[in-house]
A = this chain, B = another copy of it.
Amino acid sequence: METSTPRRRVGRAERERQILDAAVAVFSERGYQNASMDAVAERVGVTKPVVYTHFGSKEGLLLACVARARTDLLEVTAAAAAAAQGSEDMLRQGTKAFFDYLDTQRPAWTLLYSEAAISAGAGPALEEIRAQQTDFIAALLATQAPDADPQRLAGWSQVIVGACERLALWRGQDPRVSSEQATEYLMDLAWTGLAHLR
């Protein structure tokens, strides 16, 4: 089949995009462990060493996937928060955008929160995502509780980030839980608690 295209050559940027797309799909379908580099390469219509020249190693490829998802996620949540008015609504809209992103980008979600934990090298990358999130949230909380100890603010941020991740995984198992509901359950405890601590 494949009408006569003996060996199509493609620019570097384009190829990297193709490989990343294939990697996200393959990793999320078969799991990082069970996914072979050959499978990724084959999906692109290319051989293994090509993948290696672009991303160095299997872990490097995973890291690149994570990095791209991270950028997207940050973009989406930051935009939602920016469009809101007031601290409470910023947290609410940002959280909801987080859940919605994971809904529409299922493979990326699987990758980030189920598969990526696999690689020792991806751990730090995930921690960086969380650091972004906690910093952002700590700043938000500070507007509501300006007198609180910075460590306490950081702790609260950790609580919120952890809660979001867990709620996301929970929703993955039980799709009856809407992103609105998940957001509300978080706000119930987090924001209500905060409001009464001042």
For chain A, what secondary structure do more than half of its interface residues adopt (helix, strand, loop), or is it mixed?
helix
**Does A123 make an interface contact (CB < 8 A)?**
yes
The answer to whether B167 and A159 touch across the interface, beta carbons within 8 angstroms, is: yes
* Inter-chain contacts of A192 with B (CB < 8 A): 192-193, 196-197
**Does A31 make an interface contact (CB < 8 A)?**
yes
Identical chains bound together, number: 2
The segment from A1-9, A40-48, A72-80, A112-120 found at the interface with B is: A112-120
Interface pairs (27), CB distance under 8 Å: A31-B120, A33-B119, A33-B120, A34-B120, A114-B117, A117-B117, A130-B166, A152-B185, A152-B188, A155-B177, A155-B184, A158-B163, A158-B166, A158-B167, A158-B170, A159-B163, A159-B167, A160-B189, A162-B163, A162-B165, A162-B166, A165-B166, A191-B193, A192-B192, A192-B193, A193-B193, A193-B196
